[in-house]
Chain A
Amino acid sequence: MAVATRRLAFTVSRRTHRGWRTALIFAAPALILFTLFIALPVFEAAGASFYNWNGLRAPSADNFIGLKNYAQLMAHGTFQRALFNTGLIILSALLIQLPLALAIAQLLGGKQWGTITFRMIFFLPFILAEVAAGLIWRFMFDGDVGLVSAVVQAFGGEPFHILSDKNLAIVTILVVATWKYFGFHMMLYIAGMQAIDKSLYEAAAIDGANSWQQFFHVTLPGLASTIRLSVFFSVLGCLQFFDLVVPLTGGGPLNMSHTIVSYLYYFGITRMRIGYGDAVGVTLFIVCVLVAFNYKRWIMKND
């Protein structure tokens, strides 16, 4: 016994001693890749956002323009619209997409007929690439060949060119986002519901609680931490919304359906205004970090 303890003590001390070198060998590739492709670029972006820079030569003092990129950004109507649209996407996720996911999860929580099939159907859009989903819906909303327009016409309406309507084009993005992502949150809720202690339902039933009361007094409280998490990922995802915009509306018509990131792409990258695009990126970064930090600090503090 004494020998064993001494041997263990020896290994432990050897372990801490050798720890650094070994750990470094194991972790180094990850740390290097992360630093090279994420940490460094972000620092450089923060710096470059103060320059009027096309990315070709290293920015010089002549190109330094301080906060002008940011000032121009905030004054640009299209960017304001992009902020507004991103806000709309978040709102529709919180008020339509997630409640729909929760309702469907509640309907599919049990063992009734077809449950697994329905779950699979609802999850299916989530695995499709945004580009494919966007084009599929571009077809659906097309004024000439699309089904949506065909339905409107079947009820005696005019051909419905929603994608070229500057005020309504953003609605198509909201619809497709709901279509694509609600099944994912539904799966999270179903998983969360199954972790709820079944005896709570039995106890509630014995106390005479009906299904609604069980939902509000057992299911919802039991799901609270899952819901907080799903809201968190939903909001961060909405802030970075991009891939669906390009195939669906391309930010148009008249740049009315941009999101923050599609604005960054069309006004920063495609025009090679690196400094300006970086200002958009840094703004988005600050918003995301503030949201993430405060959300974790205040809303998920007990999770």
Chain B
Amino acid sequence: MTDFTMRAMPQRGRKPQDLSPGLALVRLLLLFLVAGFVLVPLLATMLGGLKTLGELLSNPFGLPQHWIWQNYVDVLSQPAVWRMLLNSLLIAVCTVLLTLAVAAPAAFAFAHLKFFGEQMLFNYLILGLTFPFATAILPLFLKVRDLGLLDTHWGVILPQVAFGLAASVLLMRNAFRHVPGELVEAALVDGASYARIFWSIILPLSLPILSTVAIITFVQSWNNYLLPLVVLNSPDNYPWPLGLMQFKSLYSTDWPKILTYITVTILPAVGAFLLAQKYIVAGLTAGAVKA
């Protein structure tokens, strides 16, 4: 399943249909129309931060008459902004590392070890796939509280890892199975331990799937809102989506400032996407092809 999604990325496909010039024009018009629908809000947001509130009202469509960079200076000079971005980064990196560390060995066990109850335990984990994050949010909140993790980053990281496990283990197990069983057998005969096989054979041969899982996990963590909203209380611990909402309620109608703040917070995501779009698209679509 993963393969066919990956193949979408290089531009290989069926032959371009030969369209008549008229149809080709209609096609382009449609594409530009939809591209406008997608891009105009983003451009309006980025430009809006460079206008005054007055100009936002009087000149909604045009470029700013005077490019006002003061909002950017104001936003970027706030330590809170940097702290939130750093919090998000920290939470995301820890979530990714822990997910890999926990899911990969489990996937290895399900892919290459035979043991009693294997299928049952695997199905138990996979149950998490059809599992809405939201339905468990209240009991999860209580669990995090009882463990004393409320208002800590671990209170966000651990549940995120747990919720990502089903998909990660499934994706990894399917990939690990592509490593021939004979290779594992041969290593066993040569006296290698399972840990050694896992570390020196399986993992090096499975780097693509590891990076796919890492990308999915990172993006989900970076954008997560509901869980930190429920778990974290003090603004010092906020990741950026919470900080953004707080900023919005603070400056409720100072739209240029809010738009600047939005721009600053989404630019890392947009930049990362432009740099690594091939991998990000492949990773995120592979993540959807779960079953």
- Tell me the A242-278 residues at the B interface (CB within 8 Å): 242-243, 246-247, 261, 264-265, 268-269, 274, 277-278
- Inter-subunit contact B45/A136 (CB<8 Å): yes
Q: A127 in the interface, Cβ–Cβ < 8 Å?
A: yes
Partner of A131, one of B16, B109, B219, B245: B245
Would you give the shortest CB distance from B149 to chain A, in whole angstroms? 10
Which of chain B's residues has its CB closest to A285's CB? Answer: B135
- Inter-subunit contact B226/A188 (CB<8 Å): no
Interface residues on A, range: 35 or more
Choose, from A72-80, A91-99, A113-121, the stretch at the interface: A113-121
Q: A190 in the interface, Cβ–Cβ < 8 Å?
A: yes
- Tell me the B206-245 residues at the A interface (CB within 8 Å): 219, 222-223, 225-226, 230, 240-241, 244-245
Partner of B136, one of A19, A42, A129, A135: A42
Partner of B130, one of A146, A190, A201, A289: A289
Convert B48-65 into 0s and 1s, putting 1 for each residue whose CB lies closer than 8 angstroms to a CB of A. Answer: 100001001100110000
Chain B residues with CB under 8 A of A23: 109, 113, 115, 118
Per the bound structure, the CA–CA distance linking A140 and B161 in Å amounts to 35
Chain A residues with CB under 8 A of B222: 129
User: What does DSSP make chain B's interface, helix, strand, loop or mixed?
Assistant: helix
Q: A111 in the interface, Cβ–Cβ < 8 Å?
A: yes
Q: A229 in the interface, Cβ–Cβ < 8 Å?
A: yes
Q: B66 in the interface, Cβ–Cβ < 8 Å?
A: no
Per the bound structure, the CA–CA distance linking A274 and B60 in Å amounts to 45
User: What does DSSP make chain A's interface, helix, strand, loop or mixed?
Assistant: helix
- Inter-subunit contact B44/A27 (CB<8 Å): no
Q: A40 in the interface, Cβ–Cβ < 8 Å?
A: yes
Given A15-B114, A41-B142, A140-B41: A122 touches B273 (CB 8 Å cut-off): no
Chain B residues with CB under 8 A of A278: 138-139
- Inter-subunit contact B273/A29 (CB<8 Å): no
Would you give the shortest CB distance from B44 to chain A, in whole angstroms? 6
Chain B residues with CB under 8 A of A100: 34
Given A33-B165, A187-B281: A11 touches B188 (CB 8 Å cut-off): yes
- Inter-subunit contact B194/A22 (CB<8 Å): yes
- Inter-subunit contact A132/B188 (CB<8 Å): no
Q: A26 in the interface, Cβ–Cβ < 8 Å?
A: yes
- Inter-subunit contact A107/B30 (CB<8 Å): yes
Q: B106 in the interface, Cβ–Cβ < 8 Å?
A: yes
Q: A145 in the interface, Cβ–Cβ < 8 Å?
A: yes
- Inter-subunit contact B48/A139 (CB<8 Å): yes
Would you give the shortest CB distance from B285 to chain A, in whole angstroms? 5
- Inter-subunit contact B189/A8 (CB<8 Å): yes
Q: B133 in the interface, Cβ–Cβ < 8 Å?
A: yes
- Inter-subunit contact A198/B14 (CB<8 Å): yes
Chain A residues with CB under 8 A of B5: 188, 191
Per the bound structure, the CA–CA distance linking A11 and B139 in Å amounts to 46
Given contacts A55-B142, A145-B53, A269-B230, 7 further A-B contacts (CB under 8 A): A26-B105, A27-B121, A45-B138, A108-B31, A127-B280, A195-B4, A281-B138
The 12 sampled A-B contact pairs (Cβ below 8 Å) are A31-B124, A38-B131, A115-B11, A124-B42, A128-B223, A128-B270, A130-B225, A131-B223, A183-B38, A184-B288, A214-B17, A269-B230
Q: CB within 8 Å of A: which residues of B?
A: 4-5, 7-8, 11-17, 24, 27, 30-31, 34-35, 37-42, 44-45, 48, 53, 56-57, 60-61, 101-103, 105-106, 108-110, 113-116, 118, 121, 124-125, 128, 130-143, 158-159, 161-163, 165-166, 169, 185, 188-189, 194, 198, 219, 222-223, 225-226, 230, 240-241, 244-245, 248, 253, 255, 258-259, 262, 265-266, 269-270, 273-274, 277, 280-281, 284-285, 288-291
Across the A-B interface, give the 8 residue pairs with the lowest CB-CB distance, nearest first.
Answer: A41-B139, A191-B8, A110-B16, A37-B162, A30-B106, A129-B223, A150-B60, A26-B109
